[in-house]
Amino acid sequence: MNFCIFGCIGLLLYVSCIPDENKKMNLWEIYESYFVDAKYVDLTHAFHPDIPVWPGFGKARFDPAISQHDIPGYVNADDTFTIKQHGFIATSYYLPTDQYGTQLDPPAHWNPKGATISDIPPTYALRPLVVIDIHDKVLNNEGYHCQTADIKEWESQYGQIPNGSVVMIRSDWCKKWEEVDRYNKKPFPGITLEALKFLHNERHILFHGHESLDTDTTATLEGEYWLLNNNFCQAEGVTNLDKVPEYGALIAIGFAKPEGGTGGFARYIAICPLDWEYGQSIVENPGAPLKTFKTVLVREENGVLKPK
C-alpha cells in the first residue's frame, strides 16, 4: 500500500516541476497511472422514504411524475408520464428536509450568518481521508464518543493528521441503518467537543464525519453547535467506513447545490490504494455502458423503482 501512496506522491512532485502549460496533460497521466486502477468505495447510503430521519422532519415521498400542463397531441395535464405513451418516465420527490440520508451540513444549518451549501467552494472536491476507528469501543458502549486520545492514538501509528483532510469516525453504527426506529435513539456513538476542537484548532482539518445522524448525545448538541457557529461543516450518515483504510486514501466529495441550502444530499467516495481488498477499480467497472436489468423496473409501494 505504501508503494502505491509514494508512487502517487512522486507523480505529484514530478508534475509540480512541469511548466504550467503542460500540467493539464500531466494530470491525465496521474489519472491513467494511478486512479484508473485505484479502488473506489461508496461511503453513501441511497436514500428513500423509509430511512432513519429525525422525527421532527418526517418521511420523504417518491411518486411518478405527472404533467403539469397540456401539450396538445402529446400529454394532458395530470397524466402520469410513461415510457409506452411518452417515451420516458420521471420521479417526483417530496423531501421534508435537506437533513436527509448521507449529508453535508453547512454552517447555515445552525448559524444565522453562516455559509449555505451553495457557498461551499469547489476546493472541497478531493481531500486526504483519515479514518479514526472506535468501533471496538462502541461494541462495549453504544454511546461511546470519539476522544482526543483516540485521535492521538491514530497519530502515534500513522503520523500527524494532514492539514485540510477529512476525518471520518468509524463506529460501525451504519450497520443498524435498517433498524429505523433504533438508529436515531440514544445511546448512539458520536464525537466529543474536545476532540472536535483538537481536529479543527490543532490539526486544521476540512471537516469530520460520522455514521450517526447527530454529532453527539448532549442535551444541547454542543459539538454541532460549536462546529457550525465557528463556520465548519460536518458529514453525517456516512457508511462503509469498515471497508476503507485508516491511512492513505483520498475522498471525493459531491453534494446537491440548492441556492441558499441549509444541508446537502451528499455523495462521498473513498479512493483507496490499488492493492486494497475492497471496492472496484475503473478497469473493473468503467461505468459506461451501465448494466441492464433482466426484468423491467416497477415502483414499489414506497415509490422506489426496482427490477420486477
**Cis upstream peptide for 187 (omega within 30°):** yes
Question: What proportion of the chain, given as a percentage, has pLDDT over 70?
Answer: 92
Confidence of residue 21 (pLDDT cuts 50, 70, 90): low
What span, in angstroms and rounded, lies between the C-alpha atoms of 100 and 38? 30
pLDDT at 6: 38
User: In the predicted model, is pLDDT for residue 105 greater than 60?
Assistant: yes
The pLDDT of residue 13: 39
- Structure confidence by residue, pLDDT tens digits, 125-145: 999 999 999 999 999 999 999
Q: What is the pLDDT of residues 23-66, one digit of tens each?
A: 556 899 999 999 999 999 999 999 999 999 998 999 999 999 99
Report the predicted TM-score, pTM, of the whole model to 2 decimal places: 0.92
Domain 41-60+97-308 has CATH 3.50.30.50: yes
Write down the domain spans for the chain. 1-35, 41-60+97-308, 61-94
3-state helix, strand, coil in the chain (%, to 5): 30, 20, 50
Q: Enter the C-alpha cell of residue 154.
A: 491514530
